Homo-oligomer: A and B are copies of this chain.
Amino acid sequence: MIVPATRIVGLTTHDIRFPTSRDLDGSDAMNPDPDYSAAYVVITTEDGRQGHGFAFTIGRGNDVQTAAIGALEQYVIGQDAEDVAGIYHAMINDSQLRWLGPEKGVMHMAISAVANALWDLKAKRYGKPLWLLLAEMTPEQLVEMIDFRYLSDALTRDEALELLRKGEQGKAERIADLRANGYPAYTTSPGWLGYDDDKLRRLCKEALDQGFTQIKLKVGADLQDDIRRFATAREVCGPDFPIAIDANQRWDVDSAIEWVGALAPYHPHWVEEPTSPDDVLGHAAIARGISPIRVATGEHVQNRIVFKQLLQAGAISFLQIDSARVGGVNENLAILLLAAKFGIPVCPHAGGVGLCELVQHLAMFDYVGVSGSLDGRVIEYVDHLHEHFVDPVVIKGGRYLAPSLPGFSAEMHPESIAAHVFPGGEVWRDQ
């Protein structure tokens, strides 16, 4: 079933934007009016196969992000599509491109999009969903995908191999469990700041009815509003139901500790992004200041080096990988292994455009091949924009069902791409 290696002959990009700000979907304390967007890339091989990938942004700047992906064409065209590791290491270690980060921001997200498209292509060629492709790779093949630079004080290549070998025990049973029962999800849909209390109450009830075992509320814009909204959600969900809160980087250290203190009576399951994603020591200070309430972060953490430090500093109790910000699947493999080394559960960030579709594969691989556990683990779910994807996520009883189609679930319908291209697509032309 495996398609022979073929040369990559094309890379095309699309600046795709959804006018989500019109309905205040996705509004939070730092992002009042996002237009969910994808800097989208399609890689084509000489035998006509395609891999799809994208960086997620929230509107302005998506053109710059798209241009950055286009600038990576030279690393991809003419290469063997099988050589994901080689292309990835070449992109990451290009000394001239490194200057634009290193390994952060627009250029790194561009590498993420291209790397993920390469993985989509590879999984399609192997006829497997990505999570299963990863689960069937050997530990040696997996560590080849990782750049261990700057990690050795926390995780060596040998330790990574050891963790992956340990992850092989019971793998078949976990694959069977995943296929039968899926992976637990939580929903952020009730908690956007732009919604009124009636909508919050209704959406909380729907989340319970749908079988979700956790919800999340956006906080940080107005304390009295947050207290009222949290009390409302707690009332609907009951005293023991996990309700996380998410400040989207709104606070400084002291204000985080104070604000969370005021919400403590409602028992937040975790406090997400209390401050700058760059502030390792700040997160550690907040974690100490709000204990036993726990800290989660990751969706804006720029790379494995910052995750390493968050773990070393004891700053987080939940690690939230993002599928399209760090260096794609490759760097997320390193981050899953770091989390396993430190015994911290991975609870992925999702939502946006297609982030649920991508990140489910990484969480599922974490379960079957790395952590071996579902304890304390949930994947975020937001009910936005899935209809634009060829292989959308399937949620049943509050759980992500394991994808079965080949690939990384990254591919958008051609009509969706055409309609949302900015600024020429039909949804934008009428503005």
A100 partner, pick from B96, B99, B106, B150, beta carbons under 8 A: B106
In chain A, residues 81-117, which have Cβ atoms closer than 8 Å to a Cβ of chain B? 94-110
Whole-angstrom CA separation of A6 from B68 in the bound complex: 34
Judge whether B67 and A97 touch: CB under 8 Å: no
A255, B281: Cα distance in complex, Å: 24
Is A306 an interface residue when CB atoms closer than 8 A count as contact? yes
Residue from B63, B96, B100, B280 within 8 A of A105 (CB atoms) = B100
Q: A33-B95, A279-B305, A312-B281 are in contact. Are A102 and B249 (CB under 8 A)?
A: yes
Residue with the highest number of chain B CB atoms closer than 10 Å, among A32, A59, A280 = A280
Q: Which residues of B lie under 8 Å from residue A57 when comparing CB positions?
A: 96, 99-100
A277 contacts partner chain B, Cβ-Cβ < 8 Å: yes
Give A273-293 as 1s and 0s: 1 = Cβ < 8 Å from B's Cβ atoms: 001111111100100000000
Main secondary structure of the interface of A (DSSP, over half): loop
- Supposing A99-B58, A279-B305, A302-B104 touch, asked if A252 and B152 sit within 8 A by C-beta, the answer is yes
Q: Given the known inter-chain contacts A32-B95, A61-B97, A97-B60, please indicate yes or no for A153 contacting B302, CB distance below 8 A.
A: no
In A249-298, which residues have CB < 8 Å from any B CB? 249, 252-255, 275-282, 285
A60 near B94: Cβ-Cβ < 8 Å: yes
Q: How far is the CA of A94 from the CA of B59 in the complex (A)?
A: 11
Contact of A68 among B106, B249, B285, B303 (CB under 8 A): B106
List the B side residues contacting A31 at CB < 8 Å.
Answer: 95-96, 98-99
CA distance A68 to B61 in the complex (A): 8
Q: How far is the CB of A341 from chain B (nearest CB, A)?
A: 15
Interface status of A172 (Cβ within 8 A of chain B): no
In the assembled complex, A309 has its CB within 8 A of some CB on chain B? yes
A360 within 8 A of B: no
Question: Interface digits, A60-71 against B, CB 8 Å rule (1 contact, 0 not)?
Answer: 110111011001
How many residues from A make CB contacts under 8 Å with B? Answer: 62
Are B280 and A281 closer than 8 Å at their CB atoms?
yes
The residue that A303 contacts in the complex, of B95, B101, B278, with Cβ under 8 A, is B278
Structural contact, A100 and B64, CB atoms closer than 8 A: yes
Residues of B within 8 A of A22 (CB): none
A411 at the interface (CB under 8 A from B): no
Q: Please tell me which one of the listed residues B63, B99, B153, B281 contacts residue A282 in the complex, with CB atoms under 8 A apart.
A: B153
CB proximity to B under 8 Å, residues A142-156: 149-153
**Residue A30 is within 8 A (CB to CB) of chain B in the complex:** yes
> At the interface, yes or no: A35 with Cβ under 8 Å from chain B?
yes
Interface bits A31-59 vs B (CB < 8 Å: 1, else 0): 11111000000000000000000000111
Residues A64 and B60 in contact, CB atoms below 8 Å apart:
no
Measured CB to CB, the nearest residue on chain B to A312 is: B281
Contact B68 A102 (CB under 8 A): no
Q: Quick check: is A313 within 8 A (CB to CB) of the other chain?
A: yes
- With A and B bound together, what is the CA distance between A153 and B277 in angstroms? 15
Cα–Cα, bound, A67→B70 (Å): 12
| CA distance in complex: A11, B37 (Å) | 26
Most chain B CB inside 10 Å of its own CB: which residue of A102, A109, A281: A281
Q: Does any Cβ of B come within 8 Å of A386's Cβ?
A: no
Judged by a CB distance under 8 angstroms, whether A300 is at the interface is yes
In whole angstroms, what is the CA distance A71 to B422 when docked? 14
User: 7 more A-B contacts (CB under 8 A) besides A61-B68, A106-B106?
Assistant: A64-B107, A64-B110, A102-B300, A104-B302, A153-B252, A279-B309, A280-B309
Q: Which 8 A-B pairs have the closest CB atoms?
A: A105-B105, A106-B106, A60-B96, A59-B96, A153-B253, A152-B252, A278-B305, A150-B276
What are 29 A-to-B residue pairs whose CB atoms are below 8 Å?
A: A31-B95, A31-B96, A31-B99, A33-B95, A33-B96, A58-B99, A59-B99, A60-B96, A61-B71, A61-B100, A61-B107, A64-B67, A64-B110, A67-B67, A101-B105, A103-B278, A104-B104, A105-B107, A105-B108, A106-B106, A150-B275, A150-B282, A152-B253, A152-B254, A153-B253, A153-B282, A276-B305, A278-B303, A278-B305
